[in-house]
């Protein structure tokens, strides 16, 4: 019999990678299969799509925590997971013979979940390592139901115990996972323990270095979700590309016998579709739908959709729209669209820390609206799903990215398996969101054949998993000498839309020199996925003085002129909406641990450049802003 771990691997690793894995020395042979045993290579079998619309018991709130600086209670000396550590949630023996380890959650302080630990307790501000969470909860067993523990995100590796049983583990700090806990629960008082390890890893994604803060912890919502024995774990309902005269997709039902009826109803559109599951639990469907109001930034129409299968039923709010590339154009519902955007990190406005609430998200979307943006690049990792839900409602188009940032271990099959798992988790979570128009596989990666092969495979995988969206990546700016910059990165050929980051006038040249620079870029739609300069809000001076608002403004004036000469440009994403915490920004008084390229400071002060971009986005006068 195959172990559950192997079944999980088969679920999402493509055959080519599996063969590669088989060729590595660290693989474990299992019949004709072999796998490397690490959390990310055992992608969890279940990932509940549309989970935020299912009835759930929230486990958000205060959790006890204990810091485990050496990781001794989580890992054995040889690095295996210690099953008998704090996960058992034992208590010290005060009278009689000593037994067990020295810890006690019952009397430990608490942290708010969701929330990073760094900004909740000053002593944890710079902490990277293992931290244990614990909480009690009441639960009543429901006959004929199964229960999943849903974890919106835990950065970076996490390990789960319920009532002393080790349940699951996950690697990846920005995507959700669901673990079945049915067999571990009982009616009455239960407890869950989760160890989160935020240690950066040379073979992690991202790798050791990032220009953003490594906030650790249970950073997104945690809940218990009850579903019937056979349940819908995944579906995809989208507008038929090009013809736009119908809907197509599938509903996947776990543990349903072949032939299980599935219905998809959209009463407002007069649609009631029936289909039947195949042997794998998947029911494909296609239906004519001529009079749909299509989703767009101008009219972000969402339809209430009901899905029913066996005893399970759920609803979603879905927008239908077509997004595709033709020549050098990006077409939204068949019409060329220009992306007036900005980059946004998941840094909470005003309070800093990781975005984790409706309030944080509302503040970010307020700024986007104010800027007259119709597009946001959510850099550099999948963000809180509230972002996509809000964008669906507000009519903002989204670029969503997995955290492959600059250097990771491109030469290791085990790292490819992690990237592949993260890509699948991102797409699964958000393919029901009309706002997401681009999947990005990476940011600013080195141009060499190992990297190119790695990322090209991910692009193929993204297309295979979601044929309805273009795929992109943010490439490094060309840095050849001379005034004509030629983008030669071969990865561009594999992309539908090419993202180009450039910092002419900040990391090289002076702002006014930018106007002499010309770019040669592929005949594809180009998004300038980053360009920007630092300014400390309130710091004023002559325009050639770095870190002043005047310098930043001058940078954008010249850059828009330079960039607007590139005929293939189909969108702009200045770097970045708000100042954000970064471990690499260490100029006291000017940076103080913040990347200052925000158009807005971390505490909400708009800089001069914000108003400049606000105006040219309103007037559509990019490159002609004076």
Give CA–CA dist 486/435, Å, rounded.
32
Q: What is the 3-state secondary structure (H, E, C) of 76-144?
A: CCCCCECCCCHHHCCCCCCCCCCCCCCCCCCCCCEEEECCCCCCCCHHHCCCCCEEEEEEEEEECCCCC
Instruction: In angstroms, give the least distance from the CB of 401 to ligand GCB.
Output: 10
- 222-228: strand order across its sheet: 56-58, 222-228, 145-151, 177-180
In sequence order, what are the residues at sequence separation of 6 or more whose Cβ sits closer than 8 angstroms to the Cβ of residue 441? 401, 402, 404, 419, 423, 455, 458, 459, 462, 471, 472, 473
Single residue of 116, 211, 236, 430 touching ligand GCB by CB under 6 A: 211
Please identify, using beta-carbon distances, which residue of 103 and 575 lies nearer to ligand GCB: 575
List the structure tokens of 78: 């040889």
Instruction: In angstroms, give the least distance from the CB of 492 to ligand GCB.
Output: 17
Single residue of 444, 489, 549, 602 touching ligand GCB by CB under 6 A: 444
Residue 597 binds ligand GCB (CB under 6 A): yes
Instruction: In angstroms, give the least distance from the CB of 341 to ligand GCB.
Output: 15
Give CA–CA dist 608/612, Å, rounded.
7
Type and span of the H or E element at 232: strand 231-239
Helices (H), 280-356: none
Q: How many helices (H) and strands (E) does the chain have?
A: 8, 36
Residue nearest to ligand GCB (CB): 211
Please identify, using beta-carbon distances, which residue of 134 and 343 lies nearer to ligand GCB: 343
Binding residues for ligand GCB, rule CB under 6 A, total 9
Instruction: In angstroms, give the least distance from the CB of 419 to ligand GCB.
Output: 17
CB 579 within 8 A of CB 605: no
Residue 377 binds ligand GCB (CB under 6 A): no
Distance of CA 594 to the CA centre of its chain: 22
**Of residues 597, 591, 589, 520, the one with CA closest to residue 555:** 597
x/- site string to ligand GCB, residues 385 to 424, per CB under 6 A? ----------------------------------------
Residue 42 binds ligand GCB (CB under 6 A): no
Nearest-5° Cα angle at 579, 509 to 504: 15
Please identify, using beta-carbon distances, which residue of 43 and 532 lies nearer to ligand GCB: 532
Instruction: In angstroms, give the least distance from the CB of 501 to ligand GCB.
Output: 5
Instruction: In angstroms, give the least distance from the CB of 599 to ligand GCB.
Output: 13
Please identify, using beta-carbon distances, which residue of 233 and 554 lies nearer to ligand GCB: 554
Binding residues among 497-556 for ligand GCB as defined by CB under 6 A: 501, 530
Please identify, using beta-carbon distances, which residue of 34 and 500 lies nearer to ligand GCB: 500
CB 395 within 8 A of CB 297: yes
**Of residues 611, 580, 13, the one with CA closest to residue 344:** 580
Please identify, using beta-carbon distances, which residue of 223 and 443 lies nearer to ligand GCB: 443
Give CA–CA dist 391/374, Å, rounded.
9
Please identify, using beta-carbon distances, which residue of 82 and 529 lies nearer to ligand GCB: 529
Q: Are strands 323-326 and 329-332 parallel, antiparallel or unpaired?
A: antiparallel
Single residue of 119, 440, 443, 539 touching ligand GCB by CB under 6 A: 443
Binding residues among 464-503 for ligand GCB as defined by CB under 6 A: 501
Please identify, using beta-carbon distances, which residue of 43 and 574 lies nearer to ligand GCB: 574
Chain positions contacting ligand GCB, by CB under 6 A: 211, 380, 443-444, 501, 530, 575, 595, 597
């Amino acid at each position: 019999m195959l172990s559950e771990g192997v079944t999980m691997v088969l679920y999402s690793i493509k055959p080519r990678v599996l063969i590669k894995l088989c060729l590595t020395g660290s693989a474990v042979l299992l019949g004709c299969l072999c796998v490397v045993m690490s959390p990310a290579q055992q992608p969890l079998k279940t990932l509940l799509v549309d989970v935020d619309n299912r009835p759930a018991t929230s486990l958000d709130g205060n959790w006890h925590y204990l810091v485990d600086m050496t990781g001794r209670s989580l890992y054995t000396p040889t690095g295996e997971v210690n099953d008998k550590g704090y996960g058992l949630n034992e208590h010290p023996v005060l009278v009689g013979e000593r037994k067990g380890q020295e810890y006690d959650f019952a009397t430990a302080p608490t942290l708010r979940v969701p929330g990073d630990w760094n900004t909740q307790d000053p002593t944890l501000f710079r902490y990277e390592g293992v931290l244990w969470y614990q909480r009690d909860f009441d639960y009543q067993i429901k006959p004929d139901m199964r229960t999943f523990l849903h974890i919106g995100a835990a950065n970076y590796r996490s390990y789960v115990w319920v009532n002393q049983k080790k349940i699951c583990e996950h690697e990846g700090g920005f995507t959700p996972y669901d673990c079945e806990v049915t067999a571990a629960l009982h009616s009455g008082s239960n407890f869950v323990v989760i160890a989160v390890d935020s240690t950066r890893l040379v073979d992690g994604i991202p790798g050791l270095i990032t220009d953003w803060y490594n906030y650790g912890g249970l950073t997104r919502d945690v809940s218990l979700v009850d579903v019937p024995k056979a349940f819908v774990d995944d579906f995809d309902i989208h507008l038929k590309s090009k013809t736009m005269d119908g809907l197509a997709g599938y509903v996947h039902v776990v543990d349903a016998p072949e032939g299980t009826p599935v219905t998809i109803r959209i009463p407002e559109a007069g649609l009631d579709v029936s289909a039947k599951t195949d042997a794998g639990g998947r029911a494909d469907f296609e239906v004519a739908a001529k009079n749909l109001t299509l989703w767009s930034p101008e009219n972000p129409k969402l339809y209430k959709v009901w899905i029913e299968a066996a005893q399970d039923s759920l609803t979603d709010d879905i927008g239908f729209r077509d997004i595709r590339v033709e020549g050098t154009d990006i077409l939204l519902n068949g019409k060329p669209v220009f992306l007036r955007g900005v980059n946004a990190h998941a840094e909470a406005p005003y309070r800093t820390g990781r975005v984790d609430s409706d309030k944080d998200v509302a503040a970010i979307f307020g700024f986007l609206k104010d800027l007259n943006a119709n597009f946001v690049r959510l850099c550099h990792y999948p963000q809180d799903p509230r972002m996509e839900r809000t964008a669906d409602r507000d009519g903002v188009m989204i670029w969503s990215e997995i955290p492959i940032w600059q250097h990771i271990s491109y030469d290791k099959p085990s790292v490819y398996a992690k990237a592949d798992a993260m890509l699948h988790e991102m797409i699964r979570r958000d393919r029901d969101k009309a706002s997401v128009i681009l999947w990005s596989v990476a940011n600013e990666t080195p141009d060499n054949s190992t990297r190119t092969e790695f990322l090209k495979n991910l692009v193929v995988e993204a297309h295979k998993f979601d044929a309805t969206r273009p795929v992109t990546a943010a490439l490094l700016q060309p840095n050849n000498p001379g005034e004509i910059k030629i983008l030669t990165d071969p990865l561009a050929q594999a992309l539908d839309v090419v993202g180009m980051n450039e910092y002419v006038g900040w990391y090289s040249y002076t702002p006014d020199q930018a106007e002499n620079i010309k770019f040669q870029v592929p005949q594809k739609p180009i998004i300038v996925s980053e360009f920007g300069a630092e300014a400390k809000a309130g710091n004023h001076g002559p325009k050639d003085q770095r870190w002043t608002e005047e310098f930043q403004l001058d940078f954008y004036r010249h850059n828009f002129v330079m960039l607007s000469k590139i005929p293939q440009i189909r969108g702009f994403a200045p770097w970045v909406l708000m100042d954000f915490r970064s471990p690499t920004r260490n100029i006291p008084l000017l940076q103080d641990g913040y990347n200052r390229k925000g158009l807005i400071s971390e505490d909400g002060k708009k800089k001069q450049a914000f108003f400049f971009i606000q105006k040219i986005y309103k007037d559509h006068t990019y490159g002609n802003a004076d």
